[in-house]
Structure 1
């Protein structure tokens, strides 16, 4: 059997994978229209460029309780045969190629595989590729989602757009702040517009992170995942920007503090900080970040502008340029500069590779 490419993503504390051939597109979670339907796992529907997309809560599909949705969640759009369905996930990671010898069907001891429903949904487990639970073909566990069933309550003689006539049975994400609601609504409005395939291929996917109070972007292709900061073991005889090692599900990850490269204050590292796990040409390390502003967003290359000299105290030696970014829930109307990291240059020229003998 040949190697297979999988789209990998995080749901709660587990990493899942699904064959890339089922993935049609990915976008940040928008406001969903919540409707009554016979599908108990349906989180709601969204107008995706004029078509109604049902969105399922994968936690409910797996038989787990559904946590509150977050502004950083994403939707994976799956397509098979004539079906198109979205699933809500916490973070989307880059494509991963897994060979058959890395996969096992021994699922019984994994904490997230309990009961017959999970055994139907989760086909395999790849421990050697990083503890990835591989989802079965969606037609075996999703079934057929009939849009007409969702719309069946709307009388045929109702005037106007049928999507607008969907009744909001309850409030989407009731615990969201007013600022978060603005962001959810803006995303939903943007999805209504027609987008050509050329538009999509021209977009550059990045992750937005915060170091102290500054926003930085990094090419999404280099980002493997985001995770919590846990116990760090210091490494002797290392530069001050190499913080130490962290055990991530049995894999030892070296942690880097990039703030010194940009002349930012080196404030104490707090336990609520996050770790961005980066994979660059097989070199895996973790970057400590103050906050993950957005795990995935898209920029047009034309939006990335050269840095103006002398306009800021930040060191631009390791930056590709700067773009405008609409800040997250803290100030949804504010546009901030987001500096695009040149991470390969930092890795190759910034002294991140240590070859000293202790």
Structure 2
């Protein structure tokens, strides 16, 4: 049996993305976010999550993706504290679909030839669908969310 990796599949706009399940602490329903003055555009604000102040990052803004009309299923994916050097961080996504198990043969690594500024944040492309029908395969962009967060600067490790 081929080795597999578990990822959390989520949606931003019409596109499907994934992140490593080990860095996701929990998924919570959208709640009121308190904006912070003079915060960067991608920092939506803070929430009080069971007594812990959690910074909320709008992943769409951070990745430079267009605004979405979809607001009814938005969720916050709360990340493990070690992702952000001990800080509590959550990311806003349009919807969370499921945890999926991905086999190695479904993963297509990205070549270094891509020059887009987002390519450094893409671990791979996951192909989901029927083996015999290339047209029915869906593509999921597997983001390196840990790298995205660490590149913000304010959450970089002091090591």
- TM-score category, normalised to shorter length: 0.7 to 0.9
* Aligned counterparts of 2:70 and 2:55: Cα–Cα separation in 1: 15
Question: Alignment RMSD, CA only?
Answer: 2.7
Q: Residue 40 of structure 2 aligns with which residue?
A: 239
- Distance (whole Å) between structure 1 residues aligned to residue 8 and residue 123 of structure 2: 14
Q: TM-score, normalised by structure 2?
A: 0.78
2:12 matches 1:211:
yes
Structure holding more strand per residue = 2
Change (3 A) 1:317 1:260: farther
Structure 1 pair 245/271, CA: closer, same or farther in 2 (3 Å)? farther
Q: Indicate how the Cα distance of structure 1 residues 243 and 269 shifts in structure 2: closer, same or farther if over 3 A, else same.
A: farther
Aligned positions of 1:1-358 closer than 5 A: 199=2, 202-267=3-68, 270=71, 272-281=73-82, 282-294=86-98, 296-307=99-110, 315-326=118-129, 334-351=136-153, 353=155
Shift of 1:263: 3.1
CA distance in 1 between counterparts of 2:124 and 2:24 reads 19
Unaligned 5+ runs, structure 2: 130-134
Secondary structure class of the residue paired with 2:108: coil
Q: Aligned equivalents of 1:314 and 1:215: distance in 2?
A: 19
Q: Is the 8 A contact 2:17 2:143 kept in 1?
A: yes
DSSP-derived class of the 2:109 partner: coil
Distance 1:339 1:314 in 2: 15
Alpha carbons 1:227, 1:274 under 8 Å: kept: yes
Greater relative contact order structure (CA < 8 Å, 6+ sep): 2
> CA shift at 1:283, angstroms?
3.3
Unaligned runs of 5+ in 1: 1-195, 327-332
TM-aligned CA deviation for residue 251 of structure 1: 1.9
Q: Give the direction of change, closer, same or farther, for the CA distance of 1:237–1:353 in structure 2 (3 Å limit).
A: farther
Instruction: Check whether the contact 2:13–2:70 (CA below 8 A) recurs between aligned residues.
Output: no
